[in-house]
């Protein structure tokens, strides 16, 4: 972060732009995510020095260089771990983890899971282009079966992982999906995540124009999106279609597309992001093209104590009952031994 000029609130997007040359390919979806984040953070009433961007390795992980905030470009897949430590020692920070589908779900999968199950008060953006961009186009954990890449010349035989299922299985308290071509929706989701106390996990459909161009277009393309995307709104039915004539109904444990004109309103599925039971949000993550429209928006937002606040409270309580400890006493205490 530049320290030569003290930045004063209210901020503008430009206050969050660093002086670094952006080195993504022209047309990369990361540009729009970056600009949206700069615009969104400028809206909040938090000093700019309280923001930290933490990333692993990948094209998307170059984010910290381009934000005029504090940041760490850390090791592959370990951004959630560094961010957890940071939040625990400085709870006043607003910390944003930027990770790719390879970085976050392959080498860093384990770290991501534990960060989410602990409910650390962090915002995690998983930029999903279904490919390894930085290393020139090998298949990733989210690549579809049959995907031909440099590392799968005869087509991938791996079943792809569903990022949002991982978030639900890890009991993340805020789970959402958005896309790089809809800055207004992305900004809305980022704002909701920033205001959520606890871990926020956002999957962003992103286009890697060089190694996996148009991977999301069958769902999100101009021609098809009305019929293949459904926006989630709390308390409202899941209505979609060019003529807003289709909805979702639950039959047994199965979501089904129904003709809005042919069903009574009380049969429709009403979105409830506050449902404490994860079954409902899991069911939403199973909705996928081509059988079903793909949901975008907030899948789940629930409240529970965060790891960082529980840690702080525990330390305070132990100091209150036992007094402040001395590191020297711990090192030279009874639980040590000499190697003769």
Ligand X SMILES: Cc1ncc(C[n+]2csc(CCOP(=O)(O)OP(=O)(O)O)c2C)c(N)n1
Binding footprint of ligand SF4 on the chain (CB under 6 A): 24-25, 28, 30, 59, 129, 133-134, 208-211
- Minimum CB separation of residue 61 from ligand SF4 in Å reads 10
Q: Which residues pair with 124 in a beta bridge?
A: 97, 201
Residues 6+ apart with CB under 8 A from 52: 69, 70, 71, 72, 83, 86, 93, 94, 95, 96
52 makes contact, choosing from ligand X, ligand SF4, none, with CB < 5 to 8 Å by partner type, with none
Provide the 10 A C-beta neighbour count for residue 1: 14
Alpha-carbon distances of 340 from 333, 336, 337, rounded to whole Å: 18, 13, 9
Give me the half-sphere count of Cα atoms (radius 13 Å) on the Cβ side of residue 106: 20
- Minimum CB separation of residue 72 from ligand X in Å reads 15
When binding is defined by CB under 6 A, the residue of 125, 134, 199, 230 that contacts ligand X is 134
- Minimum CB separation of residue 242 from ligand SF4 in Å reads 30
Residues between 36 and 75 that touch ligand X (CB under 6 A)? 57-60
268 makes contact, choosing from ligand X, ligand SF4, none, with CB < 5 to 8 Å by partner type, with none
- The reply to whether 203 sits near ligand X by the rule CB under 6 A is no
The encoded tokens of residue 140 equal: 């990733």
- Rounded CA-CA distance 86/187 in Å is 25
Q: Which residue is nearest to ligand X (CB)?
A: 100
127 makes contact, choosing from ligand X, ligand SF4, none, with CB < 5 to 8 Å by partner type, with ligand X
When binding is defined by CB under 6 A, the residue of 76, 114, 117, 197 that contacts ligand X is 76
- Rounded CA-CA distance 153/7 in Å is 51
- By CB under 6 A, name the binding residues for ligand X: 57-60, 76, 100-103, 107, 127, 129, 131-135, 140, 208
């Amino acid at each position: 972060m530049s320290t030569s000029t003290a930045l004063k609130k209210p901020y503008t997007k430009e206050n969050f732009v660093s002086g670094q040359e952006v080195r993504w390919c022209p047309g990369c979806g990361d540009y729009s995510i970056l600009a949206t984040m700069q615009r969104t953070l400028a809206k909040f009433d938090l000093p700019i020095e309280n923001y930290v961007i933490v990333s692993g390795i990948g094209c998307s992980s170059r984010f910290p260089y381009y934000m005029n905030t504090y940041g760490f470009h850390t090791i592959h897949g370990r951004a959630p771990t560094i961010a957890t430590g940071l939040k625990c020692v400085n709870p006043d920070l607003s910390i944003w983890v930027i990770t790719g589908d390879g970085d976050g779900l392959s080498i860093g999968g384990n770290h991501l899971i534990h960060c989410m199950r602990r409910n650390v008060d962090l915002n995690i953006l998983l930029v999903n282009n279904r490919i390894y961009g930085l290393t020139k186009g090998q298949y990733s954990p989210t690549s579809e079966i049959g995907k031909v890449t440099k590392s799968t010349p005869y087509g991938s035989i791996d079943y792809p992982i569903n990022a949002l299922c991982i978030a639900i299985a890890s009991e993340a308290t805020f789970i959402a999906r958005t896309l790089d071509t809809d800055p207004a929706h992305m900004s809305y989701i980022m704002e909701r995540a920033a205001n959520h106390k606890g871990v926020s996990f956002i999957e962003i459909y992103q286009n890697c124009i060089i190694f996996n161009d148009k991977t999301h277009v069958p769902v999100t393309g101009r021609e098809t999106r009305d019929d293949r995307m459904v926006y989630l709104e709390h308390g409202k039915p899941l209505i979609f279609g060019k003529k807003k004539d289709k909805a979702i109904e639950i039959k047994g444990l199965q979501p089904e597309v129904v003709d809005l004109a042919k069903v009574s309103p009380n049969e429709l599925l009403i979105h409830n992001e506050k449902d404490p039971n994860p079954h409902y949000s899991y069911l939403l993550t199973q909705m996928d093209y081509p059988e079903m429209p793909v949901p975008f928006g907030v899948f789940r937002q629930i409240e529970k104590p965060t790891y960082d606040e529980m840690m702080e409270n525990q330390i305070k309580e132990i100091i209150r009952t036992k007094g402040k400890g001395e590191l020297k006493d711990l090192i030279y205490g009874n639980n040590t031994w000499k190697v003769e």
